[in-house]
A = this chain, B = another copy of it.
């Protein structure tokens, strides 16, 4: 592990890939890697990219990576793919990507697939981003599918969050209800050569306008239920709505510039460190929860736990009472233990 860690610090691609594979396969490896590399992190600009299937995210991310390379920045890409074990989607997506971007030492690409365990994905992704940060990449692009909690969690790892829309998906009122607009620092209408693009752009701008008067920035804080209100701040950042055609690389330079501008804004306003604090709070609490659940498994006998589950399933006991009973058992075991 130590040799691998020092090769990662030197930016060796093969070592980065091997370490991330270990992280995917073992929570202990993730813990060791993060502890060893954490002091080397904090330099990269982490950009989260999210949006509906069909918005052309992957092509956009590739084009964006090339634009950052032209600006002289090194780039790593994490494609988070809660894919089904059927489809092999991650592997396929990877090959398409690799062909397009291969041969450039300043780019590193990695898919993270859930392999049936959606729960651990967000932790593994966060650890992989730290590995890339410690390896010295300037920009880390984290691409996620969908609009659910997992995506929101992953986006909350980012300094800058892009939400990608495409025209024609906005026929449906649901497409503007996805709840991810709140986390957008930059909105992108991709496939802007299609009919309805300027209508989609205007609709997004109108929604931003509508929200701006009353809205309080939720970024970071909304993810962490325990975060005190003091960390909520109304942002001065004006969310831009940009048009791109990623297949033709139209509008990509402007998008890269907006991302760089957002980084400057964060640094100058002090929001950069506020976001680091929100992210840290959330991460510590998640790790604490994992530790507490581990403690549950070591202190409460399994048949005891199973008995409570069966009683709740049979409606003999309500779930709150069962949770309280588990809590009491854990507490009394902790009380009886040596310091």
Binary interface encoding of chain A residues 291-322 relative to chain B, with 1 for a CB under 8 A from any of its CBs, else 0: 11101110000100010111011110011111
> What would be 7 A-B contacts, judged by CB atoms less than 8 Å apart?
A34-B319, A53-B172, A118-B179, A145-B147, A285-B323, A287-B323, A334-B335
Whole-angstrom distance from the CB of A43 to the nearest CB of chain B?
10
- A288: interface (CB < 8 Å): yes
Q: Is there an interface contact between B222 and A116, defined as CB atoms closer than 8 Å?
A: yes
Q: Does A173 contact B (CB under 8 A)?
A: yes
In A16-69, which residues have CB < 8 Å from any B CB?
31, 34-35, 38-39, 41-42, 52-54, 56-58
Q: In the assembled complex, which residues on chain B have CB atoms less than 8 Å from the CB atom of A90?
A: 177
- Selected from B42, B92, B174, the residue in CB contact (under 8 A) with A145 is B174
- Interface: A103 (CB within 8 A): no
On whether the beta carbons of A288 and B277 are closer than 8 Å, the reply is no
Q: Does A264 contact B (CB under 8 A)?
A: no
Min CB distance A181 to B, Å, is 5
Least CB distance, A191 to chain B, in whole angstroms: 11
- Judge if A152 is at the interface, Cβ distance under 8 Å: yes
Contact A145 B178 (CB under 8 A): yes
Asked if B84 contacts A284 (CB within 8 A), the reply is: no
CB under 8 Å from chain B, chain A span 145-191: 145-153, 169, 171-182
A83 (CB) vs chain B CBs: closest residue? B177
The distance from the CB of A65 to the nearest CB of chain B, in whole angstroms, is: 18
- Give the distance to chain B from A141, nearest Cβ to Cβ, in Å: 16
The residues of B that contact A82 with a CB separation of less than 8 Å are: 147-148, 177-179
Nearest first, the 9 closest Cβ-Cβ pairs linking A and B are: A148-B148, A82-B179, A89-B177, A287-B323, A86-B211, A38-B318, A280-B312, A149-B150, A276-B313
B residues near A151, Cβ cutoff 8 Å = 148
- Quick one: which of B114, B291, B306, B313 contacts A179, CB cutoff 8 A? B114
Find the B residue at minimum CB distance from A114: B179
Interface readout for A110-134 with B: 1 if CB under 8 Å, 0 if not? Answer: 0000101111100000000000000
A263 in contact (CB, < 8 A): no
- Selected from B35, B147, B226, B295, the residue in CB contact (under 8 A) with A321 is B35
Q: How far is the CA of A222 from the CA of B82 in the complex (A)?
A: 13
| A289:B289 contact, CB within 8 angstroms | yes
Surface stretch bound by B, among A7-15, A192-200, A245-253, A324-332: A324-332
